[in-house]
Amino acid sequence: MGGNPSEKIIDEVAKKILKSLAEAKETLTCKDISGKTGIDVRRVAAKVRWLQEYGYVRRVERGKYEILNKGREVIS
């Protein structure tokens, strides 16, 4: 039943976050992502930390994130 721990991370919230990052022409803050997705900023911040830890997004500078290839694969 264990499976890949990252499978638990890629839920609908994560997919919305990844899509908003993929569509952006620049890096986004959690507040930006929250505005685009309608997801509470605290929930976005928590999910982005997990996505970063598992290599789906990366922090470019303090509070700004971009999607990585691994993240793009999930939503393609």
Which option is the CATH number for 5-75: 3.90.76.10, 1.20.140.10, 1.10.10.10, 1.20.58.60? 1.10.10.10
pLDDT number for residue 1: 42
Which pLDDT score, from 0 to 100, does residue 5 have?
A: 55
* Model pLDDT for residues 52-66, shown as the tens digit of each residue: 999 999 999 999 999
- The arithmetic mean of pLDDT across residues 17-42, rounded, is 97
Q: What rounded mean pLDDT belongs to the chain? A: 92
Domain ranges for the chain, please list them. 5-75
- Please give the angle made by the CA atoms of 68, 74 and 76, to the nearest 5 degrees: 100
11 DSSP 8-state letter: S
Whether the predicted model's global pTM rises above the 0.75 cut: yes
Helix, strand, coil proportions of the chain in percent (round to 5)? 60, 15, 30
The pLDDT confidence band at residue 15, using thresholds 50, 70 and 90, is very high
Structure tokens at 27: 């890096």
